[in-house]
Amino acid sequence: MTRMAEPQSFPPSEGASVLDIVHRCWGFDSLRPLQSEAIAAALEGRDSLVVLPTGGGKSLCYQAPPLVSGGTDVVVSPLISLMKDQVDSLRGVGYPAAALHGNLTADERGDIERGLREGRFRLLMVAPERLLQNGFLQRLERVGIRRFVIDEAHCISHWGHDFRPEYRQLSVLRQRFPRASLHAFTATATARVREDIVEQLHFRQPVVLVGRFDRPNLVYRVVPLVDRYQQTLEVLRRHAGEAAIVYCLSRNDTETMAGFLQQSGVKAAYYHAGMEAADRRKTQEAFAREQIDVVVATVAFGMGIDRSNVRCVLHACLPKSIEHYQQETGRAGRDGLEAECVLLYTAADAMRWESLFRKSAKNAEEPAEVIASRLQHLREMQGYASVAACRHKLLAEYFGQAYENPGCGACDACLGEIEGIEDSTVIAQKILSCVARVEERFGVGYVADVLLGADTEMIRRCRHQRLSTYALLKDHTKKEVQSWIYQLIEQRLLGRTEGDYPVLQLNEQSWAVMRGQLAVRLVRPKKGRRERTRYEELSWEGADRGLFDRLRQWRRGIAEQRGLPPFVILHDSVLQELSILRPSRLDTLREVRGMGEKRTADFAPELIALIGEYCRQHDLPCDVMRPSVPRQGEPRPERRSSQARLAAFRLFSQRQSIERVAEAIERARGTTVEYLGQYIAEQRPERIDAWVDEPTYRRVAAATATSGDGRLKPIFDQLGGEVPYDMIRLVVTHLKQAGPP
Ligand code: ADP
Ligand code: ZN
């Protein structure tokens, strides 16, 4: 028990290695892609720009360096709530950090300023406007700051989607602190935004690190919108008791939707920029503390929310750009566990955005480029929503990254969920002829009414109940018919005028459809249960959901006692790992990734008791060993459900080559082969000829039969050293699985 650290023993002794510190403090046993490069740049004092997707692990990149080097680093962050959560979470692992912002009392501020002078903190978080106050800069000069970190750095650029004027002034940092290095972090940056950051901050030969944008734990679905409310409810029902964010277009929309959800028994609240600050804070807090499950919000909600276990992000309305979409869906599954992103799509929403853009352009007299750029972003978003192709691929490629994986297994297109309507062409013909019959003088709602055979005053006045197309689609609902009309518009098989009273108009294509020269495909939301993705299956493999729920409950209690949001205490991914490994002893608890020394010291007695009792009650084995055997010199086996391993498993199931997989998961060949071995042992694929060719397999199998004792060396020797060890190991593993139990 000697290695158990007391809280005050942080920061650990200087000179310790990065990995050692990260392990002791956070309980992680490896660094993620680009984290070590980012940390190295910081320690070398080289300017850096790090672009990692949400959930990619940016914070560790700036939290770790000052623990290694000593001194206080300053982090500029745009939102108080973000700072507070981060500081609370750092304190939970015994990391000395503070946040300086407008919501502090004079006493609290005085204490932090004193701590700063005494060098008590490793990190000090500040809002840009506070940092830039002259007095404060002078005080920092006196302290001698070594590193400045600019979080959410895209806020500095006009080209970004979240420009903040106060960020522009950060350019003075270089002048005022010529010897300090600057480190910018962001999750969304197109090349242009990147250049802007580097230029604005006067970076000197920066290290630029751009991570992979793909988020393998997210499932993307685009569902044709028919009934906004019912469809939203349907999706949320799949996530009962879990956290979800529903995005709407307008403030009004959020209120109506939240009201509807509440009536349907969902613990929901709305959130938008028109609310009083106090009410907004209340909603944010209730969500963070798991008192409500669903927040219905405009885009205003998000940056301030760090709840890492959001399991669903639902766009009830089309976002206005792919950048927004990426940022908003980025809030799902930050803990690395699976999460679902659903977009309800209708072309009507794009039209709504367009008319909003035009209005705001008129009112604000915005230059033509601004509106052109907005429309361009909108078109790209529409393109994403209306094409039935792999969503992971579309998104990766939008951000300039190749996506090799031929089928992601985690989007509606790849899961085969897009359901066409059988008689699409006939339906389209009926709709189009109706537009012709009403002489192209009416809008969507009216045409739908005629097709449905509605009895309205307007229809009677126009005598449209006498039309041959009247009631042609009477077996359908109005929402369905409208959805189809918008799908026709989307596919440019039907036109629609602009202005306040848009009417439907036929074009060349419409006539081609009516003449039967052009087939049409209309889609509908798929009914029935959603498949679990491979990712989800793998990450929950061996986990006990009941124990997971109990642990969540326990965590909620601790969080309440401490007045903190539960995710600040421990992430869901840690609870998941606890429910897989079920440690009943201190040494096995220490193995759990994400615990760290301080948390182990804090929670060991309670966790061990809780888990032990649960396992006794349910007759479950405790202290489950990780399946992978550590190689020599490796301190700890990889976490059972680590992201890379999961990604590798998914690719192996598609029979991708070792080289391909190694590249995709950014791991060495050796690690990849080790994963493949685990994959073969656990998933028992029938054949492994994708990795070991038939003749080699047969040779190894024959040699194994004669050598018998299971050691690899005799087999290797018997084959004259012609077959490498890792191939032999794969075959032996496979043979074991195939043999009698
Ligand atoms: P970002 O700021 O890029 O959105 P975070 O810093 O919030 O991402 O990290 C996302 C999640 O990943 C957190 O749960 C964090 O604890 C976890 N994490 C970060 N680095 C590692 C690591 N090296 N190993 C395991 N988990 C990590
Ligand atoms: Zn896909």
The bound ligand whose nearest atom lies closest to the alpha carbon of 643 is 1
* Per-residue pLDDT, 8: 41
* Per-residue pLDDT, 15: 58
Fold of 218-419: Rossmann fold (3.40.50)
Contact partners, residue 537, CB within 8 Å, separation at least 6:
none
Ligand 1 pocket test, pick from 26, 149, 575 with the greatest ligand atom count within 8 Å of Cβ, gives 26
* Per-residue pLDDT, 225: 95
Q: What value does the mean pLDDT take over residues 500-521?
A: 94
The bound ligand whose nearest atom lies closest to the alpha carbon of 149 is 1
The bound ligand whose nearest atom lies closest to the alpha carbon of 82 is 1
Among protein residues, the one with the nearest Cα to ligand 1's atom 27 is 57
pLDDT at 408 over 80: yes
Among protein residues, the one with the nearest Cα to ligand 1's atom 15 is 57
Q: How far is the CA of 239 from the centre of ligand 1 (A)?
A: 23
Among protein residues, the one with the nearest Cα to ligand 1's atom 24 is 28
Per-residue pLDDT of 44-56, as tens digits, reads: 999 999 999 877 8
Q: How far is the CA of 415 from the centre of ligand 1 (A)?
A: 28
Ligand 1 atom nearest to 32, measured from its CA: 23
- What is the pLDDT of the chain when averaged over all its residues? 88
Q: How far apart are CA 164 and CA 146, in angstroms?
A: 25
* Per-residue pLDDT, 539: 83
Please report which helix (H) or strand (E) contains residue 583, including its range: none
Cα atoms found within 13 Å of the Cα of residue 625, Cβ hemisphere only: 4
Ligand 1 pocket test, pick from 20, 23, 32 with the greatest ligand atom count within 8 Å of Cβ, gives 32
- Which residue is associated with the tokens 């052009």? 518
Per-residue pLDDT of 599-657, as tens digits, reads: 999 999 999 999 999 999 988 888 887 654 333 333 333 344 467 788 888 889 888 89
632: alpha, beta or left, given left = phi > 0 and alpha = psi -120 to 50? beta
The bound ligand whose nearest atom lies closest to the alpha carbon of 52 is 1
Per-residue pLDDT of 514-562, as tens digits, reads: 999 999 999 988 877 777 788 888 888 888 999 999 999 999 999 999 9
pLDDT at 221 over 90: yes
Hey, which residues does 62 pair with through a beta bridge? none
18-210: CATH superfamily: P-loop containing nucleotide triphosphate hydrolases (3.40.50.300)
Hey, which residues does 341 pair with through a beta bridge? 220, 313
pLDDT at 495 over 50: yes
pLDDT at 341 over 90: yes
Write the CATH number of the domain with boundaries 542-625.
1.10.150.80
DSSP string, 107-119: HHHHHHHHHHHHT
Q: What value does the mean pLDDT take over residues 291-299?
A: 93
**What CATH architecture does domain 422-521 belong to?**
Orthogonal Bundle (1.10)
The bound ligand whose nearest atom lies closest to the alpha carbon of 64 is 1
* Per-residue pLDDT, 708: 60
Helix (H, G, I), strand (E, B) or coil at 208: strand
Q: What's the pLDDT band for 286 if we cut at 50, 70, 90?
A: very high
Among protein residues, the one with the nearest Cα to ligand 1's atom 14 is 335
pLDDT at 234 over 90: yes
Ligand 1 pocket test, pick from 23, 39, 54, 60 with the greatest ligand atom count within 8 Å of Cβ, gives 60
pLDDT at 87 over 70: yes
- Say how many C-beta atoms besides its own lie within 10 A of residue 222's C-beta: 24
- Multiple choice CATH, 643-738, 1.10.10, 1.25.40, 1.10.260, 3.40.630: 1.10.10
Ligand 1 atom nearest to 26, measured from its CA: 16
Establish whether domains 422-521 and 643-738 are of one fold: yes
* Per-residue pLDDT, 741: 38
Judged by average pLDDT, the poorest of 472-481, 588-597, 634-643 is 634-643
Q: How far is the CA of 55 from the centre of ligand 1 (A)?
A: 6
Cα 192–193–196 angle (5° rounding)? 90
Q: What's the pLDDT band for 381 if we cut at 50, 70, 90?
A: very high
* Per-residue pLDDT, 641: 43
Higher pLDDT, 646 or 306: 646
Q: How far is the CA of 406 from the centre of ligand 2 (A)?
A: 8
Give the pocket of ligand 1 (CB within 6 Å): 28, 31-32, 35, 52, 54-60, 308, 334-335, 571
Domain boundaries, the chain: 18-210, 218-419, 422-521, 542-625, 643-738
Among protein residues, the one with the nearest Cα to ligand 1's atom 10 is 55
Ligand 1 pocket test, pick from 25, 59, 331 with the greatest ligand atom count within 8 Å of Cβ, gives 59
Ligand 1 atom nearest to 29, measured from its CA: 24
Q: How far is the CA of 627 from the centre of ligand 1 (A)?
A: 24
Q: What value does the mean pLDDT take over residues 30-52?
A: 93
The distance of Cα 335 from the centroid of its chain, to the nearest Å, equals 9
Judged by average pLDDT, the poorest of 37-46, 576-585, 641-650 is 641-650
The bound ligand whose nearest atom lies closest to the alpha carbon of 331 is 1
Ligand 1 pocket test, pick from 18, 24, 28 with the greatest ligand atom count within 8 Å of Cβ, gives 28
* Per-residue pLDDT, 602: 93
Contact partners, residue 422, CB within 8 Å, separation at least 6:
none
Hey, which residues does 478 pair with through a beta bridge? none
Q: What value does the mean pLDDT take over residues 686-698?
A: 91
Locate 259 and state its tokens: 């009201």
Locate 454 and state its tokens: 């509605």
Ligand 1 atom nearest to 593, measured from its CA: 25
Q: What value does the mean pLDDT take over residues 312-324?
A: 94
> Residue 723 in contact with residue 716, Cβ under 8 Å?
yes
pLDDT at 414 over 80: yes
Q: How far is the CA of 25 from the centre of ligand 1 (A)?
A: 13
Higher pLDDT, 40 or 82: 40
- Within 385-429, strands assigned E span 419-420
* Per-residue pLDDT, 189: 67
Q: How far is the CA of 647 from the centre of ligand 2 (A)?
A: 14
Contact partners, residue 200, CB within 8 Å, separation at least 6:
156, 157, 168, 170, 171
Q: How far is the CA of 572 from the centre of ligand 2 (A)?
A: 26
Q: How far apart are CA 344 and CA 233, in angstroms?
A: 12
Per-residue pLDDT of 172-208, as tens digits, reads: 999 999 999 999 999 876 788 889 999 999 999 999 9
Helix (H, G, I), strand (E, B) or coil at 204: coil
Ligand 1 atom nearest to 58, measured from its CA: 3
Q: What's the pLDDT band for 212 if we cut at 50, 70, 90?
A: confident
* Per-residue pLDDT, 258: 98
Q: What's the pLDDT band for 14 if we cut at 50, 70, 90?
A: low
The bound ligand whose nearest atom lies closest to the alpha carbon of 391 is 2
* Per-residue pLDDT, 519: 94
Per-residue pLDDT of 65-81, as tens digits, reads: 999 999 999 999 988 87
* Per-residue pLDDT, 631: 32
* Per-residue pLDDT, 629: 36
End-to-end CA separation in angstroms for the chain? 39
pLDDT at 412 over 50: yes
* Per-residue pLDDT, 418: 87
